[in-house]
Amino acid sequence: MGLKILKTSSYLPRNVVTNNDFEKYLDTSDEWISSRTGIKERRFAVDEDTSDLVYKSVDKLNIEDKSKIDLILVATFTSDKAMPTISSSIQKRLGLMEDIFAIDFNMACTGFVAGLKLCEKYLDTGRQAILIGADLISKTLDKNDRGTVVLFGDGAGATLIEKNNKQQYFEIGTRSNDECLKLNGRNIKNESSFISMNGKEVFRFATEVLPVTIEKLLKEKNITIDDIDYVVCHQANYRILNYVAKKTKIQVEKFYMNLDKYGNTSAASIPIVLDEMNSKGLLKQGQRIITIGFGAGLSWVGTILEW
């Protein structure tokens, strides 16, 4: 059974932090950050929490008929609280029915595409879900760690999804690695921690699994790259995506990127890209888009969306 994205929206906090802002207090430079990552600026929320980003992105979807919605899914690793979930706490504000299934889940940067798989499994044909990827990563960053603080940003992207009766293939992977990308959160002694990462190892992982996942998705659908209009991957680093384009011999122009403006927004990056492409009128009915999320876990999920 397949999925159709009916609507997209996104919300980015207003506060822009540029590479030059980091130059003022860290041993770093715009040149280093831009050339290593492609990132020029990102948003760091000032007086909002993750649930605000989620609510504001979903509100912008302007859903007219809410009676078809059976599921609201929030992919995030930066929820305001351990409980209750964001999805349950905003159900009433969004005017959603009480008999919907409201779930938050954490699959880090893989979350949005993983959420597509959950929609595909849960929904009946003709029924709908709201799937949101949202992360407010700035609250988990050590602002004095130049190795991580320059890479991430805050944001949310929301989609309205309907199940149809076409085939939807997924490529899914997980590989236990607790070390190369982690956030301990609050531990039993009530000490908080910040994101820590072995950038080189994450880079190696991404450049290994992305080309293989693309190849498998094309094979499963029995199509070639010429049948694909765009590749929308998690926006972590432009060098990762350039490498994958080269390795798979896909024109790099097919890889839509906007990480220069927002940095790595984790679960939000793919729906933010889809919304930007949609607003620009780039997405047309019948187009095929490969989309792959990857990140902590290590984990990855890919699928081909038909617009």
Select from 203, 212, 215, 258 the one that contacts ligand COA (CB under 6 A). Answer: 203
Considering only CA atoms, which of 105, 46, 107, 39 is closest in space to residue 259? 39
Distance of closest approach, residue 207 Cβ to ligand COA, in angstroms: 9
**Contacts (Cβ under 8 Å, ≥6 apart) of 60:** 9, 10, 11, 158
Task: Return the active site residues.
Answer: 109, 234, 264
Name which of 24 and 200 has its Cβ closer to ligand COA: 200
∠ CA 130-135-181, nearest 5°, is 125
Residues 214-273 that bind ligand COA (CB under 6 A): 236-237, 264
Q: Are 76 and 135 in contact (CB under 8 A)?
A: yes
Select from 202, 245, 267, 301 the one that contacts ligand COA (CB under 6 A). Answer: 202
**Contacts (Cβ under 8 Å, ≥6 apart) of 216:** 171, 302
Question: Any contact of residue 153 with ligand COA (CB under 6 A)?
Answer: no
What does DSSP assign to residue 104? Answer: E
Name which of 150 and 209 has its Cβ closer to ligand COA: 150
Question: Any contact of residue 150 with ligand COA (CB under 6 A)?
Answer: yes
Question: Any contact of residue 19 with ligand COA (CB under 6 A)?
Answer: no
Residues constituting the chain: 307
Q: Are 195 and 152 in contact (CB under 8 A)?
A: yes
Select from 199, 216, 229, 276 the one that contacts ligand COA (CB under 6 A). Answer: 199
Select from 31, 126, 142, 147 the one that contacts ligand COA (CB under 6 A). Answer: 147
Question: Any contact of residue 2 with ligand COA (CB under 6 A)?
Answer: no
Q: Which amino acid, residue 61? A: L
**Which residues sit at the interface with ligand COA, rule CB under 6 A?**
28, 32-33, 36-37, 109, 146-147, 150, 197, 199-200, 202-203, 236-237, 264, 295
